[in-house]
Amino acid sequence: MTTRTGYSRTQIVLHWLTAIAVLVAWFTHEGMEEVAKAAWRANEGPFPTIHTIAGALAMIMIIVRIVLRHRRGAPEPEGTEMGKLAATWGHRLIYALVIIVPLLGAATWFGGFRNLSGFHEFTAKALMLAALGHAAMAIWHQFGKKDGTLMRMLRPE
Ligand code: HEM
Ligand code: HEM
């Protein structure tokens, strides 16, 4: 992968759209259990809800970002060697979860694997925790360490 001095406009726009899609999926999960159960009872095909659309969009966008990261490159994380390692693996964890959570949601939804809904919920909570920690680190880097990390996700280079 090429190391760059900054993220492209496309990478930045996709970062914030993914963040919004994940948050929309998180805040629209209420009632999904009832909607899914009603569809299974009526033996109806699944129909899209805001929750499933937002979740699916988040997954598609994060996959595009992984491809872009490999094709175009990305900047190295800022900080000490330990900090860089933590950022790299933290980002990998978020990438993985934004794929795993919607897949488990889709397996519950389309496949009716009701026993998977617990895993969907558990991994979704792990994703939100990771994203919260990620946002806190970004803010701390920007305003505590003043190393301009947050600006990298705002200003294309
Ligand atoms: C980043 C994306 C997503 C997040 C953060 C997320 C989060 C959640 C959360 C927190 C719940 C509540 C779990 C519970 O109380 O049992 C839930 C339920 C559910 N979600 Fe998602 N979800 C996402 C994507 C999806 C997608 C893409 C689908 C389907 C295509 C989906 C289908 C469902 C279903 C069917 C339920 C109800 C499961 C049940 O409790 O029976 N989700 N989701
Ligand atoms: C659910 C929401 C979010 C997700 C899924 C997410 C995901 C990611 C991922 C995967 C990266 C790594 C980019 C790369 O490959 O180099 C990243 C970078 C970044 N994110 Fe987020 N993010 C979210 C929310 C936020 C929020 C709320 C903030 C700010 C408060 C933020 C600030 C940043 C910054 C500054 C970087 C660049 C870090 C660097 O270059 O070292 N993110 N984000």
Number of independent structural domains in the chain: 1
**Is 114 among the domain residues?**
yes
Query: For a pocket test of ligand 2, which of 91, 92, 149 has the largest count of ligand atoms closer than 8 A to its C-beta?
Result: 91
Query: Which amino acid belongs to residue 15?
Result: H
| Average pLDDT over every residue of 45-50 | 81
Tens digits of residue pLDDT in 50-75: 999 999 999 999 999 999 999 999 99
Provide the domain limits for residue 49: 9-152
Indicate the angle between helix axes 9-27 and 81-111, nearest 10 degrees. 50
**Is 1 among the domain residues?**
no
74 bridge partner residues: 3
**Is 47 among the domain residues?**
yes
Tens digits of residue pLDDT in 108-119: 888 777 788 899
Tens digits of residue pLDDT in 10-34: 999 999 999 999 999 999 999 998 8
**Is 73 among the domain residues?**
yes
**Is 4 among the domain residues?**
no
The full 3-state SS of 25-72, as one line of letters, equals HHHCCCCHHHHHHHHHHCCCCCCCCHHHHHHHHHHHHHHHHHHHHHHH
Classify 31 in phi/psi space as left (phi over 0), alpha (psi -120 to 50) or beta.
Answer: left
11 lines ligand 2 (CB under 6 A): no
| Average pLDDT over every residue of 37-41 | 80
Please give the structure tokens belonging to residue 65.
């970002």
